[in-house]
Amino acid sequence: MKIQNDGEPAVADRFDQIEAILQRYPDIDDGELADLKRWFGKEASSFEVASLASKDSVNPQYGEFRKAHVDRLTALEIAAAAAVAIVLLAGFAAVAFA
């Protein structure tokens, strides 16, 4: 592993590690899945995500991973959207029938 002057692992090594895991997706273990989620959600810059997504070697796996784990709405997000919709509908109804 390459070490930068500040003692942190080099970014290129981490990128290569994530690319190797993604090449094996969906045949990865839970720890690797958590690693992918953490990298995409917290560690990677937009440039790194775009660079990885544009690689032909991982394109199908990236699409599957993104569909299954990134683009999905969580239960909390669905509940929040429903609550906003209810409040808006109630407001429109109050104005329309006032």
> Residue 7: what pLDDT?
55
> Residue 5: what pLDDT?
53
Model pTM score: 0.64
The whole-number mean pLDDT for each consecutive block of 10 residues of the chain, a chain of 98 residues, reads: 52 87 94 94 93 92 90 84 95 88
Q: What is the 3-state secondary structure (H, E, C) of 23-83?
A: HHCCCCCHHHHHHHHHHHHHHCCHHHHHHHHCCCCCHHHHHHHHHHHHCCCCHHHHHHHHH
